[in-house]
Amino acid sequence: MNFEFFIASRIFLKSKANFSKPIVRLGVISVALGLSVMIISIAIVTGFQKQVREKVIGFGSHIQISNFEVNSSYEASPLKKNQTFYPFLDTIEGIRHIQVFANKAGIIKTDDQIEGVILKGVGSDYDWSFFKNKITEGRHFTVTDSVRTDEVIISKSLASRLKLKLGDPLRMYFIISDEMQPRGRKFKISGIYETGLEEFDRMYVVGDIYHIQKLNKWKNDQVGGFEVLINDFDKIEKMGELVYNYIGYKLDSQTIKQMQPQIFEWLSLQDMNVIIIIALMVMVAGITMISTLLILILEKTNMIGTLKALGTKNKSIRKIFIYNAVYIIGKGLLWGNLIALGLCMVQINTGIFKLNQESYYVSEVPVNLQLSHFLVINGGTLIFCTLMLIIPTYIITKISPVKAIRFS
């Protein structure tokens, strides 16, 4: 057995009756609480970023293909549905789905309310997976290429403001460029959804793309653009460049980050909060461990003197105390992981901690558990705290064996 490790294990086993026991416990508690706070902070922030990101993508997809536009209008000029990349593009590795869409600004009018909205037209290829768990009442409608549908889904907040309910008729009016009077359309509410993103909820009504084609006097094979869904958001820049190069010079493509820069810049700012929390927790745990190590060295001054008198080198004695400190840190890491994992699992299964959805866009504290986060935080904490302990162990080199034994 390694000499230093053997001595370190004997010290720790026989330290139960020593005055350093409460200090060691404090070190373990400090590391455990620091680690649990770091893990929970990262789980909450990444969970929040993931949920908000998925909601924004649900309204606009990962990548949109359209004509080049000189303005930022919601209404795009039409392009042919029959393209070389449609629907072939979803066979490329990393791309999950491609679908057509078209937007048109309109006004909803009731007896006493008027609301400006965007009618998002979708086709038979639309992926409803985003809205399936967001619809609180009713159902989503079915779009076919042969028969149009007058059914639409609207948000809960929009329905509340306009005093509409499931099954009610919905009258919308649209401005047509070459007509003096706005043109009206009557729809039927088949479903009511709620995402928590008020900015988008109050804006979008989802319906059949056929209506937009007729209002804009487009042909049946003309659409506003294409939406591309990918498998891995972390590769969105790479996939966005791939799509842009694939569609040719006549069309334009933008990622959701380019279309909604303010939201994604705001989400990226949340990373700074995590960095500050991690830095503070590691510093607190490291300083506590330095104090614990110094007390252990002070308590074992007589032993240090004896080992030096027997010819043990300073390097070996320092290793003994580093091993003790690593054991304390490891014990703290174990308890910290258990605390963090336990609290996160309680929140995932019960949602006991609620949030104001209007302010935070989510109704309960989101949690995103990833093994990589556990490994990085645990490894980083162990390495950083251990490195911080190397300098305090230099005090061992200043201990004289004669004085240590004489005054023990």
- Write out the H or E segment, with its range, that includes residue 254: strand 251-255
- What pLDDT was estimated at residue 74? 67
Query: pTM for this one?
Result: 0.82
Closest CA to 349 of 359, 338, 371, 364: 364
Residue 342 structure tokens = 């336990």
Q: What is the pLDDT of residues 334-356, one digit of tens each?
A: 999 999 999 999 999 998 988 88
- What pLDDT was estimated at residue 144? 85
Quote the longest CA-to-CA distance of the chain. 106
Confidence band, pLDDT 50/70/90 cuts, at residue 257: very high
Least confident span in 127-141, 154-168, 304-318:
304-318
pLDDT at 406 over 80: no
* CA 46 to the chain's CA centroid: 3
Report the 10 Å Cβ neighbour count for 334.
15
Alpha carbon distance 185, 148 (integer Å): 13
- What pLDDT was estimated at residue 193? 94
Alpha-carbon distance values, 135 to 125, 139, 330 (Å): 19, 7, 46
Instruction: Give strand ranges (E) for 110-243.
Output: 114-122, 135-138, 151-155, 169-174, 183-193, 204-208, 222-223, 225-230
Do the Cβ atoms of 333 and 38 come closer than 8 Å?
Answer: no
Closest CA to 201 of 158, 171, 169, 168: 158
- Measured in residues, the chain has a length of 408
Q: What is the pLDDT of residues 192-224, one digit of tens each?
A: 999 988 889 989 999 999 999 998 888 888 899
Residue 334 structure tokens = 């174990």
Residue 158 structure tokens = 């929009």
* CA 408 to the chain's CA centroid: 57
Tell me what percent of the residues of the chain surpass a pLDDT of 70: 94
- Write out the H or E segment, with its range, that includes residue 405: helix 401-406
